[in-house]
Amino acid sequence: MKYGARNRIRAKVKSVKSGDIMSLVKFDITIPHEMASVLSTESVEHLRIKPGDEIELIIKAIHVLPVKD
């Protein structure tokens, strides 16, 4: 099965806390992966981003889709 999300990270389930309607599943990341971001050239220039820089990635997402093979 193919998924639309390009940035896939392998993880191990750390805990599951289930309620009546929703459940909270926490994960430990087991393999680091490359991630990508699309931003304006103006932002790249303003932040002076260049290869080799160490930066912090803040991931803002509506969904994290757990997939179990």
The whole-number pLDDT of residue 39 equals 84
CA distance 69 to 1: 10
2 assigned to some structural domain = no
The answer to whether residue 16 sits within a structural domain is yes
| pLDDT at position 50 | 93
Instruction: List alpha helices for 1-69, DSSP H.
Output: 41-47
Q: How far apart are CA 5 and CA 20, in angstroms?
A: 28
Q: How much is the pTM?
A: 0.56
- The whole domain housing 42 covers 10-47
Q: What is the pLDDT of residue 2?
A: 62
Distance CA 34, CA 1 (A): 21
Structural domain total, the chain: 1
Whole-number pLDDT of residue 30? 73
pLDDT along the chain (69 residues), means of 10: 65 90 86 77 92 83 77
The SS3 of residue 17 is: strand
